[in-house]
Amino acid sequence: MTRDTDVDVVIVGAGYVGIYAVHRLRDQLGLSVLAFDSAGDVGGTWYWNQYPGARCDIESVHYSYSFSEELQREWRWSERYAAQPEILAYLNHVADRFDVRRSMRFRTRITSIVWDDDAVHWRVGTDDGAVTTARFVMSGAGNVSLPKKPEFPGMEDFRGEVYATHRWPHEGADLRGKRVGVIGTGASGIQLIPVIAGEVEHLTVFQRTPNYASPLRNRPLTDDEYDEVVANYRDIRTAARQNFMGITADPARPSAKGASEEERREVYDHYYQRGGFHLLISSYQDLLFDPESNETLAQYVRDRIAERVEDPAVAELLSPTDHPYGTKRVPMETNYYETFNRDNVTLVDVRSAPIERVTETGIRVGGTDHELDVIVSAMGFDAFTGALLDMGVVGRGGLSLREKWADGPRTYLGIAAQGFPNFFMITGPQSAVALYNNPSAIEDHVEFASDAIKHTLDHGLDTIEATSDAESGWVRTVEEMAQTSLFPRARSWYMGANIPGKPISPMLYLGGAPAYRQICADVVEGGYHGFDLSSTSALVG
């Protein structure tokens, strides 16, 4: 069936981005909008990632929208760090409250987004055969939404059950009494492993690179605590927006290497105990920039691993030495290291001998067969660019985004790309995301993009498009900033290095949220500096 619909804006996704974008564009700016999501309902990443132990590592009072004071007042988070079911319940509540679902099409995957230069609009094709035309597209396709492809031969031979953290069955998976193998020890694996270890007969963890997992220290929020948050929410949000990561933190001391060993130990002990990202962001300012300073924290975490894991050989295997602390997103853990003290848990090093193949009955590593009833993949995502490139985006002159980004992403502010007019990427590659609390970053970007759309329409113009110069300048800024940091020293998804064959290139702006917000504000103040604003007959800005 082909249905032609014309809307002002097509929105990609129904997660944090899609929900807010529908509200902002439709209810506040009066535009016609249509959002698409392949999921059965709202939630985005929190709809799909329903694996046991899935939880957010940003405190719940921050991992929420700030655009509505009423919403802030009426929602009550039960834990310091919310678990996936509570975040999904929150997003459902927001969707109901702002009645966004009537502008969304679920179970509908976008298959093409093609710019029509003559008609001056985008043609958005979906897997139901329909084509929707839209003057603007706002993408919330997700930075960690397209999973990494399985790499092992023999997967189809395996006679047991296969699950993936990113598509966990919503009805759950019964792992009781089974021999389970987990491949991957990133944030997903590290959350899953301790939660399932107690119920399975045997758990085999296939680890390629150990991580500096750090304690989350989750706990219930008391009524008094939460009432205080609600009473001071405005100040909390303001303080969070001034922080590098968009959350509230203590003012960090200047340099770890400049401090005495005693002071460092005291500081690291304090923040290791406090939990979450505080160990990185509230302790010392130079940890992500100075290798010697970083090594003091890396060694501190290795020492804690050695204390918590009984078998020294296993502790050593769990201790990273190949990358600086924080240059891969630090997984936050609860009882992760203690899990390896259990009799029914085995750690298999697949760095020294990689996984050879999957067999009918398990996984073969270095000639040894590990017999399994269940394989769980927690192998990560083709982050930042994967989901965008997967949608078949084709811009001016028939140039696809895939062709344009053959050597790595090229964007202006991580939001726009030259050759792709009226196309906005919310928390796109090269924006201040991943290290910036996602809901805050999303609000910033949705507001920037919707204001840009409004500006274009209010001035009777047709297109807004990043200039080539502005884009080149931004790419240079992002690259230079990455080079001053320690991030290029890790093979991480921050650098595109986790996907074989993907060009290695910094995927995020590392100047921090406040600097990024200021740059965006200056762009608006300068009349959308770095963008060409045009009507079909005249070039304006």
Binding site for ligand N01 (CB under 6 A): 55-57, 144, 151, 183-189, 191, 208-209, 329, 332, 350, 355, 378-381, 493, 498
CB of 64 to ligand N01, least distance (A): 14
- Nearer to ligand N01 by C-beta: 19 or 58? 58
Q: Tell me how far apart the alpha carbons of residues 404 and 260 are, in angstroms, rounded to a whole number.
A: 49
**Do strands 531-534 and 463-466 pair parallel, antiparallel, or not at all (unpaired)?**
antiparallel
Could you tell me which of 353, 373, 378 has the C-alpha nearest to residue 365? 353
Closer to ligand N01 at the Cβ: 134 or 279?
279
Query: How many contiguous H segments (helices) and E segments (strands) does the chain have?
Result: 17, 20
Which class for 313: exposed (0-12), middle (13-18), buried (19 or more C-beta within 10 A)?
A: exposed
- DSSP annotation of 23 reads I
Contact by Cβ (8 Å): 175, 200: yes
**Beta carbon nearer to ligand N01, 124 or 240:** 240
C-alpha dist (Å) from residue 396 to 10, 118, 350, 450: 18, 10, 45, 22
Assigned token pair, 401: 């985004």
CB nearer to ligand N01: give 221 or 523. 221
Phi, psi of 250 (to 5 degrees): -80, 155
Q: How far is the CB of 380 from ligand N01 (least distance, A)?
A: 2
Q: Which residue has the tokens 């985006």?
A: 393
Judged by beta carbon, residue 355 or residue 510, the one nearer ligand N01 is 355
Q: Which is nearer to ligand N01, 365 or 449 (CB)?
A: 365
Other Cβ atoms closer than 10 A to 367: 7
Residue 327 CB, nearest distance to ligand N01 (Å)? Answer: 11
Task: Give the DSSP letter string of 118-187.
Answer: TTTEEEEEETTS-EEEEEEEEE---SS-SBPPP--TTGGG--SEEEEGGG--TT----TT-EEEEE--SH
Q: How far is the CB of 188 from ligand N01 (least distance, A)?
A: 4
Q: CB nearest ligand N01: which residue?
A: 186
Residue 152 beta carbon to ligand N01: minimum distance, rounded to whole angstroms: 7
Residue whose CB is less far from ligand N01, 126 or 185: 185
Q: Could you tell me the smallest distance in angstroms from the CB atom of residue 498 to ligand N01? A: 5
- Residue 406 CA to residue 41 CA, distance in Å, equals 33
Whole-number minimum distance, CB 55 to ligand N01, in Å?
A: 6
Contacts of 519 (CB under 8 A, 6+ apart): 413, 511
Compare residues 209 and 361 and give the one whose CB is closer to ligand N01: 209
We find the least distance from the C-beta atom of residue 240 to ligand N01, in angstroms, to be 17
Q: CB 248 → ligand N01: shortest distance, Å?
A: 18
Residue among 185 and 534 whose Cβ is closer to ligand N01: 185
Q: How far is it, in rounded angstroms, from Cα 355 to Cα 370?
A: 11
Q: 401 — phi, psi (to 5°)?
A: -60, -35
Closer residue to ligand N01, CB minimum distance, 9 or 482: 482
User: Which residues lie below 8 Å from residue 326, measured CB to CB, with a gap of 6+?
Assistant: 212, 280, 287, 288, 294, 297, 486
Beta carbon of residue 355, minimum distance to ligand N01 (angstroms, whole number): 6
* Residue 217 CA, distance from chain mean position: 21
